[in-house]
Amino acid sequence: MPRILVLDCKQEISSFNPVPSEYENFHISKGDTLFSHRGLNTELGGAFDVFDQRSNVVIVPTIAARAGSAGLLSANGWRRLSSEILDAVRDGIDGIDAIYASLHGAMGADGELDPEGYLLAAIREMVGPGIPIVISLDLHGILTDRMVRNVNGLTIYHTYPHVDFADTGARAARLLLRLMEDGVRPVLARVIVPALVRGDELITATGCYGDLIRECQRIERDGTALAAGIMIGNPFTDVPELCTQVIVETDGDAAVAEAEAVRLANEFWAQRFRMQGKLIPLDRAIAQARTMKGPLVFTDAADATSSGATGDSNAIIAALSDANYPGSVLAQIVDPQAAAAAHRAGVGATISVTLGGAMDPRRYQPMAVTARVRLLSDGNSRLETMKTELEAGPTAVLTFDNFTVVVFSTSISLFDRAMYYSNGCNPVDFGLIVVKSPHTEFHMYDAWVEKNFNVDARGATSADIPSLGHTVCMRPIYPLDRDIEFKPEAVIYSIAPGR
């Protein structure tokens, strides 16, 4: 029976978050505990669904290491994490016939700006050239040359906001089986596009980026390509190979891979101007909100914890308070000191604390409030889409004036409503809701609010990309540089496994 080794390592970082992440940020599971992903909308869940349909396949689960988006992983944290991952793979590698690795692509560590490439190179050295390796990646990942040279296939998310986690894992599993059983000889064309993008046109259901992604899906489905995708990278992960890139993998046909990749890159480049964040000044958004019935959303994409920000921005609640905004406001913030004070005082107590600036004081001035402790929780929940766990640490709901603020001890992904619901707050009960994510699924907010304001605020994940201060990424690159001539050229990789 063919034996397929499975591993998982996922984290997305913002280089502009001043707080490093650590080994302790990662949730580590090993061995058969990976099978808890069965039935979940995760890459592992989708892959297991495919493998489980084959009675002649043996899955060798090794390790899953997942962390929420955060700052650059510390050097010590990376040493410990990478050693643990490689040790787990080494322990399970005897007699395997193939490898599936679920990765993100936008990791970064102090001293290693290509962690996924490092892991893949080390694993390839362990198994040699004959073992097929297939990976899955977030479309916000940064696929590096080193990564491509050490794998035989890859699949990429096709949706944003992301909902196709399991589908991407299933596509990876089916590709891996084809490599093992059908004599597929993959070649891959990679076109680097010197552009960083952000904004509503990236919503794949409605934006121009989605039109191009549907072309990638078409050439996968009609058999032109084994896999195709457009990776827009994470503009906040400032690493040498940060860019947009078009990836097309075919069965032995380099000419088709190149032609399709070049075509898609040309079409993408022509629309780069559209794919930029459209921000509204905060004071203008508040002025307009005063005249509207609501409910309303104020999107704080600059402090998006799911993109790697700290989550401790009080910019919106402070501005609303200073402007004496009259409507009811629901917001979230990361402030461990305020959460701890609430837990010490207990439900019903009145406390004087500051909110904001707990991790990023250079950007945010702490805001003094006198608040009532309405609710306390352990901060545990599950994401709406993936159903994977969220652990925010001791959490408190504080109320003051017309504000209800859910206060967390640690940064977690806030791209849905899970942490509002889990702490007794239903967004539909409020006139204005603060969302710390650039986009959420349509039904979560946009389907029922009068207006979603994408406000211009400071933060480690601001859509105003030139304001961030990139120092490492390739140059020239749009929009950091404006006058760029671009003629797409494909690099061709012959990545068939060989004995």
Hey, where are the domains in the chain?
3-275+489-494, 280-462
Give tens-digit pLDDT for 295-306. 999 999 999 999
Positions of E strands within 194-342: 227-231, 244-251, 280-281, 296-299, 329-334
281 phi and psi, to 5 degrees? -55, 145
pLDDT of residue 386: 84
Please, which pLDDT band fits residue 76 given cuts at 50, 70 and 90? very high
Q: At what angle do helices 43-52 and 165-181 cross, to 10 degrees?
A: 40
Collect all residues with Cβ–Cβ distance below 8 Å to 105 and sequence separation of at least 6.
116, 137, 138, 140, 141, 142, 143, 147, 231
Sorted by sequence, the CB contacts under 8 Å of residue 479 that are 6+ apart come out as 195, 196, 276, 465, 466
What is the mean predicted confidence (pLDDT) over 175-183? Answer: 95
**What is d(CA 439, CA 198) in angstroms, rounded to the nearest whole number?**
11
What amino acid occupies position 227? A
pLDDT at residue 183, rounded to an integer: 87
Give pTM, 2 decimals.
Answer: 0.94
At 186 the pLDDT is 97
Single out the residue of 92, 110, 115 nearest to residue 21, CA to CA: 110
Q: Which amino acid is at 402?
A: N
High-pLDDT (> 70) share of the chain, %: 100
Q: Which of the four pLDDT bands, split at 50, 70 and 90, describes residue 387?
A: confident
Query: Which amino acid does the sequence have at 129?
Result: P
Question: How would you label 142-177 residue by residue, b for 16+ Cβ within 10 Å and e otherwise?
Answer: bbbeebbebbbbbbbbbbbbbbbbbbbbbbbbbbbb
Does the structure show a pLDDT above 90 at 498?
Answer: no
Q: Could you read off the pLDDT of 98-147 as tens digits, one per residue?
A: 999 999 999 999 999 999 999 999 999 999 999 999 999 999 999 999 99
95 phi, psi to nearest 5 deg: 75, 10
How high is the pLDDT of residue 344?
A: 98
Mean pLDDT computed over 170-199? 96
**pLDDT for 2:** 95
Beta carbons of 314 and 356 less than 8 angstroms apart: yes
CB atoms within 10 A of CB 469: 9
Q: pLDDT value at position 388?
A: 86
CA gap 192, 196 in Å, rounded = 11
Residue 405 to residues 296, 373, 432: CA-CA distances in angstroms?
16, 10, 12
- When pLDDT is averaged across residues 453-473 and rounded to a whole number, the result is 96
Give the pLDDT score at 125: 98
- Does the pLDDT of residue 315 top 90, yes or no? yes
Task: Give the pLDDT mean for 247-259.
Answer: 98
* Averaged pLDDT for residues 310-318: 97
Give the mean pLDDT of 53-63: 96
Residue 434 near residue 300, CB atoms below 8 Å:
yes
Q: What is the pLDDT of residues 409-462, one digit of tens each?
A: 999 989 899 999 999 999 999 999 999 999 999 999 999 999 999 999 999 999
